[in-house]
Amino acid sequence: MLSQVIQDAINEQINNELSSSYSYLAMSTYCERQNFMGCARWLRIQSQEEYGHGLRLLDFLIARDGTVKLKAVSEPAVQFKSIAAVFEQALLQEQQVSKQIDSLYELALKEKAFAALVQLQWFITEQVEEEKTAREIVAKFHLVRDDPAPLLDLDRELGGRMVEAATAATKQE
C-alpha cells in the first residue's frame, strides 16, 4: 500500500489534471465563440486527454488500494486577448504540470514508492511531448501573427487532430 503522503500527493495531482482538463475546455469554448473551430476542436480533445490523465492516476491509486479524494476544481480563465494567447496559456499550463509531475516523482523517490515511480515515468515522457507540441503551436501563431489566411490554415491544421490518438495515450499499458 502507498503511504498517506504519496496518496495525498497523487490525489493532488488528480485534481491538477482535472483542473487542466477544465481549463482546456474553457479555452476551447473561447475559440469556438471566436469561430476558430479547428482550435476549439484541438483544445477540446486536449481537455479529454487531461481528463484521461486524471483517471489514469485515479485508477493507479485504486489498484494500489489507496483512497481517492476528489477535490473541487477551480474556475478557469474564460477570456483571452487572442487565439494566440490561448495557446501561450496552454504552454504555460503544460510547463506547470511538468513541474508538478517532477515534484511528485521526487517525492515518490524519497518515499521509496517504486510502483508510483514506474507510473510517473509515463507522465514524465508524456509531458515532454505535451510541452513540445504546445511550444510548436505557439511558434506557429507567432509566425502568422494576425495574417488572416495563415491563421485560417493553422486553424484548419489544428482541427485535423484525431481523437483516437489523444485517448489512446491515456489508457493503461
pLDDT of residue 166: 52
pLDDT of residue 163: 83
| Domain that residue 50 falls in | 4-162
Residue 22 in domain? yes
- Rounded distance between C-alpha atoms, residue 77 and residue 34, angstroms: 15
Residue 168 in domain? no
Question: Which CATH number is 28's domain given?
Answer: 1.20.1260.10
Residue 61 in domain? yes
Instruction: Give the pLDDT confidence of 15-31 residue by residue, as tens digits.
Output: 999 999 999 999 999 99
Residue 169 in domain? no
- Rounded distance between C-alpha atoms, residue 103 and residue 139, angstroms: 28
pTM passes above 0.75: yes
Instruction: Give the pLDDT confidence of 30-83 residue by residue, as tens digits.
Output: 999 999 999 999 999 999 999 999 999 999 999 999 999 999 999 999 999 999
Structural domains in the chain (count): 1
Residue 167 in domain? no
Residues 78 and 30 sit within 8 Å (Cβ to Cβ): yes
Residue 53 in domain? yes
Q: Is 35 left (phi over 0), alpha (psi -120 to 50) or beta?
A: left
Label residue 167 by pLDDT band (50, 70, 90): low
Residue 66 in domain? yes
Residue 151 in domain? yes
- Rounded distance between C-alpha atoms, residue 52 and residue 11, angstroms: 14
